[in-house]
Structures are given as C-alpha cells and as structure tokens.
Structure 1
Amino acid sequence: MLEDFPWEMRLRGGEHMIRVEESTEDGAFVVRAELPGIDPGKDVEITVQDGILTVHGERSEEERTKRRSEFRYGSFTRAVQLPSGVREEDITAAYDKGILTVTVPLAESERRPRKIQIGEKS
C-alpha cells in the first residue's frame, strides 16, 4: 500500500518509478539510476530505440527480522530521450553499490569551424 511506504513512488499499473540523474561527462551522455537490491544480470533490461534509452526490470525483495518480514516487488521502467549525435552502438552499462550507470558516447561534432575564402565579385 502506498500509505504504508510513502517514500515509494508508483506509476499506473503498479510500476515503480526509478530515480535518475542525467549529465554529460568526458564526451558522453551519462544516466545513473538508483536500483538497490537487484541483480542487474537477471532483473534489468536496457534497450535503445529511436533515440530513447529505456531501463526496465522486475524487483523482488524480502526482508526478515525476528518480529516480521516484508516483501517488496513489482516492475519498474524509465525512458530517457538521448541527445542527438550519440553513438548508440557503443552504449555501455555498469552496476555498482545499487547504482546503474549507462554511458552513451557522443559522436564528435562534424560541425567544426572552417575558413571561408572571400572571392571577388564578378
């Protein structure tokens, strides 16, 4: 119940919202997502299509103490619009201490300054 866990944000259909941080670092667009308590190899799928990066997964957690047990489960999805000029084929992902980091290399800008010669008017 949402009342029991006010810190949890839920979407329609029982999906949980993922908190993300987006930034540009060292020539790459970087997305970090808080995903504690998951097995990234089994629970998470990352896809990219039409310039949209999507993180989707299923969570199942159980916490037991001597006096009670608590289950948390459900699916989660977050879609992020990628900036133009990314190299989708070179996207990488890593998971460490509950944080999923997806790195999307930016293509070098082909719009380099060029010198325009001035000619004489004929």
Structure 2
Amino acid sequence: MSLILYNPLREMDSFQRQMNQLFDEVFVPSERHSDRQEFSPKAELTETEEAYVLKLELPGISPDNLDIQATRDAVTVSGDRQDTHSTEKDGVRRTEFHYGSFHRVIPVPGLIQNSEVKANYDAGILTLTLPKVEEAKNKVVKVQLS
C-alpha cells in the first residue's frame, strides 16, 4: 500500500479553476450561449396621498423611442435601444449593454386618472406621476358618536 500525501493547496487550485470556468460560461457570452438576454428596465413605484409615482431606469434611450400608455390600473412602457456603435478594421467589440426593443407592463395597486398622467424624462430616468382617482384617495372623515 502506497501513501499519498494530501495537498490542500492543490485542491484549492482545482476548485478555483472550476469556479473561474463556471463564471466564464455564465457571464461571458460565447457562441455556445447565443441566446441574448432581453432588456427590461428596472422600476420603482412609490405612493403618496395624491398619486403613485413610477420611475423607470432607461439610460441611453432617446425619449423619441419611448411609447407610454396608461390604463386605469396599469402603465405600459415600451421602446427601443438602438446600437449606434460599429466595429471597424475587423475589430472585436465586447459589450455588456443590451440593445433592442422592450415592453414592460407595471400594474398599479389602485385606480388612476389615466388622462392626467404626467411624464418627465431626465438623466435616463423616466418619472411618471399617476394621480389617483378621487374615490381612491384616503380621505379622513370625522365620525360622530351618538
């Protein structure tokens, strides 16, 4: 019977190589992973007494490429992020940006006055102010005891 010395550093090196390979396969696009991830803007919805405020993160998208529609209980934002860069001289370009069209429907927890929605687009952030319908506002009514 022969004795084999255990080397923990060799095991750690092997583990590190396996982890690096895993991250390379997941985070670096390759020909094996030809399916492109779809761009979906991040959203933040807050509520005030008078309205809901919806913010969407849309960096690099021109306001001309946005379509915003509001119903009584949801907001739909769609648009297109254009790829304006080109590679020259058989150069290789590596990008983590996502290009193409997107479509996002965000439900609102209460009814809104969709004809009174206000939109502002500044520094890549789209801010929509969605006023609540009169019935949905939290009105305080004094109750009389008899």
TM-score, normalization: structure 1? 0.69
The structure with the largest helix share of the pair is: 2
Question: Partners of 2:145 and 2:47 in 1: how far apart?
Answer: 35
Equivalent in 62, 70, 80 of residue 58 of structure 1 = 80
Asked if 1:97 is matched to 2:123, the reply is yes
Q: Contact between 2:117 and 2:129, CA under 8 Å: does it hold in 1?
A: yes
The structure with the largest strand share of the pair is: 1
Q: Which runs of 5+ in 1 are unaligned?
A: none
Structure possessing the higher radius of gyration over alpha carbons: 2
The aligned residue for residue 23 of structure 2 is: none
Asked if 1:31 is matched to 2:54, the reply is yes
Q: In structure 2, do the counterparts of structure 1 residues 32 and 26 end up closer, same or farther at CA, with 3 Å as the change threshold? A: same
The aligned residue for residue 81 of structure 1 is: 107
- Which amino acid in 1 is paired with 2:68? I
Question: Partners of 1:103 and 1:111 in 2: how far apart?
Answer: 20
Asked if 1:47 is matched to 2:47, the reply is no
Q: Contact between 1:62 and 1:72, CA under 8 Å: does it hold in 2?
A: no
Runs of 4+ in 1 over 4 A off after TM superposition: 64-72
Q: Which runs of 5+ in 2 are unaligned?
A: 1-26, 30-35
Q: Deviations over 1:97-116 (max 9, x none)?
A: 11111110123437542435
TM-score, normalization: structure 2? 0.59
% identity of equivalent residues = 31
Question: Partners of 1:80 and 1:112 in 2: how far apart?
Answer: 29
